[in-house]
Amino acid sequence: MPDTPIVRIDGLNKWYGPFHALKDVSLQVAAGERLVICGPSGSGKSTLIRCINALEPFLNGRLEVAGIRLDERPASISRVREHVGMVFQHFHLFPHMSVADNCALAPVHVLGLDRRTARERAMRQLAKLRIADKADRYPAQLSGGQQQRVAIARALCLEPKVMLFDEPTSALDPEMVGEVLDSMVTLAESGMTMLVVTHEMGFARQVADRVVFMDGGAIVESAVPEHFFAHARSERAQQFLSKIIH
Ligand SMILES: Nc1ncnc2c1ncn2[C@@H]1O[C@H](COP(=O)(O)OP(=O)(O)OP(=O)(O)O)[C@@H](O)[C@H]1O
Ligand SMILES: [Mg+2]
């Protein structure tokens, strides 16, 4: 079945205590598809992305990644995580480890690679992100943009089937946003399946196959970028766009 979605979400509901954070969210992402997820603050974008990586439990609904159904069993959680790379707003690199060691850590501990093979893999990914020359530096010796590119390389070292990004450029100084977006464009061109929470609408226009707009814990619209930007259907999406596109 060539069209089996790589991410399949059906009727997902999540509460934080009494607060209904995700309301019947359904979403299918095909292999190689690039999705941009946007929406106002508090609309549930991070919560959705974090559910896909089992960083948040959900109450009901069905979530499958690469054909593996995610439930609360630790085995299902670790099998799903083997296929999912995640890049956060703040890079979460270990400060006491070199760039190369940060990247080699998960391949050793999650995939069981020997150190040499893991290091070679780390160097390959760092080279792709054009940052191999910093392999022996510590994170604090790098700029924010460089640290975020290391974080992307680190996620790719697990050779994931899906990459999740949660506002990867919003903590960066403006002059560093471009280098990180360029790396993400290159990754998209390589055929990686990507779900990207971002307000970088230039990136969405350039790369996204689909834009998903969330509000109040629900997916309100899902459309190709040209349609979303030119003719957003809902008033909420129009309001949102009028605030972020000048
Ligand atoms: N751990 C938590 N406990 C309680 N409520 C939470 C928790 N995390 C998020 N929420 C609430 O759930 C809602 C959705 O949060 P979420 O972080 O997913 O939004 P978001 O769309 O990513 O927003 P932002 O654009 O500000 O990052 C918000 O109202 C938030 O306050
Ligand atoms: Mg968020």
Residue corresponding to tokens 């760092």: 126
Going from the Cα of 121 to the center of ligand 2, the distance in angstroms, rounded, reads 30
H or E segment and range at residue 223: strand 218-223
Q: What is the arithmetic mean of pLDDT over 181-210?
A: 96
> Nearest residue CA, atom 31 of ligand 1?
42
Lowest mean pLDDT among 8-22, 63-77, 212-226: 63-77
Handedness of CA 175, 176, 179, 185 (dihedral sign): negative
Residue corresponding to tokens 């390959």: 124
pLDDT in tens, 50-83: 999 999 988 899 999 999 999 888 899 989 998 9
Give strand pairing partners of 35.
Answer: 195, 210
Calpha distance 10→21 (Å, rounded): 15
Look up the pTM and report it: 0.95
Q: Which atom of ligand 1 is nearest to 167's Cα?
A: 27
> Nearest residue CA, atom 27 of ligand 1?
41
Q: Which atom of ligand 1 is nearest to 217's Cα?
A: 14
The residue type at 116: R
**Backbone phi, then psi, for 57, in 5-degree steps?**
-75, 155
Under a CB-based contact definition with an 8 Å cutoff, are residues 229 and 38 in contact? no
Going from the Cα of 133 to the center of ligand 1, the distance in angstroms, rounded, reads 37
Q: Which atom of ligand 1 is nearest to 40's Cα?
A: 25
Residue 1 has pLDDT above 50, yes or no: no
Q: Which atom of ligand 1 is nearest to 49's Cα?
A: 18
> Which contacts of 111-115 are long-range, i.e. CB under 8 A and separated by 24 or more positions?
111/82, 111/158
Q: What is the arithmetic mean of pLDDT over 193-199?
A: 97
* Residue 2 banded pLDDT, cuts 50, 70, 90: low
Residue 186's contacts (CB-CB under 8 Å, 6 or more residues apart) are: 128
Q: Which residues line ligand 1 (CB under 6 A)?
A: 16, 19, 21, 39, 41-47
Mutation to probe ligand 1, out of 36, 43, 212 (largest number of atoms < 8 A from CB): 43
Q: Which two tokens stand for residue 208?
A: 């996204």
Calpha distance 215→20 (Å, rounded): 12
> Nearest residue CA, atom 12 of ligand 1?
21
